[in-house]
Amino acid sequence: MSPALAVRPRLSIALGADATGVFDAGLPVLAGEEVEALFGPARPAGHVGPLALFHAGDWLLGAATVPLPDGLEAAARHLYENIFRAAHGRHLARIWNYVPAINEPGPGGLENYRLFCRGRSLAFEAHFGRGFNARLPSASAVGCRPGALTVAFVACSARPRHVENPLQVAAYDYPGTYGPRAPSFARATVVAGPAGATVFISGTAAIRGHATIAPESSRLQLECTLENLQGIATACGLAPGIGGGPGAIRHFKAYLRHAADQSMVAAVLQERLLLDADRVSYLQADICRSALRIEIEASLFGAAVG
């Protein structure tokens, strides 16, 4: 991390009303919101293993930051086992993963992201069985500071609808060239509610089919990412513009491998996507593939879904 980034504030994930409910994502904030509080202050609901749990209405929220004494793969598997215990009787709707040194080689030379994916996938399979792909929620995994793994999740009582992008191969169906276990997530998750739908769009990047697009161009990758976001939004039933209709509350996070791209990305998003009431954070982070420069995710509340 450069000295300039080292002095920037880091993104805080706020679940509870006091410091016990605030988690450091380990990502420098380049611009925009420094605190992510998607559900407002939530009520403490105890602990399961290292996870601190909270209730916000019908939602169960949880997060933990764990060290890696037995390696990243074991930490991921054990943390996900605790997530399944905590969410017992509820459905997972969204998971955020902040993976240390995500593109660096781990033990045996396997990339840390692939080690993380193997631990996560094995946990899902052990809990849900071989058909676990149908239960996978939306998710993201980006690189953070070395030393610890941070994971936050949201679960709900209503059965969610998990959505794929017709422009992309489902991540859980990626071929073995991307690692010994495919990534375990859906492109989006839709949760119906009386005041409109909650829609979580996973971390989305310049991947078409399963191939990385334009590895040498941040602008072309941004164009592809925006097309993928709209493809996912359409598959969810959202209106054009990624559900920016009356009453919808929208939160975006843009992860940038290169901090110098922030002004360009912000200008394009202001012109093509963002509305005045939207909340957005621009974050410096390594992306799950070393050739990817940009990843964008969205969380929508009160959205109209057709």
Stated length of the chain: 306
Q: Which of 36, 41, 33, 38 is nearest to 25 (CA)?
A: 36
Judge whether 113 and 174 are in contact, CB under 8 Å.
Answer: no
Task: Using alpha carbons, select from 218, 193, 195, 216 the residue that is nearest to residue 205.
Answer: 218
What separation, in Å, do the N-terminal and C-terminal C-alpha atoms of the chain show?
A: 44
> Is 111 labeled as catalytic in the residue annotation?
no
Could you say which of 36, 81, 111, 295 is catalytic? 295
Beta-sheet pairing, 197-204 with 207-208 = unpaired
Residue 115: how many other CB atoms lie within 10 Å: 25
Instruction: State whether the Cα torsion 240-246-251-254 is positive or negative.
Output: positive
DSSP category for residue 7: T
Tokens 């410091």, residue located: 19
Catalytic residues: 295
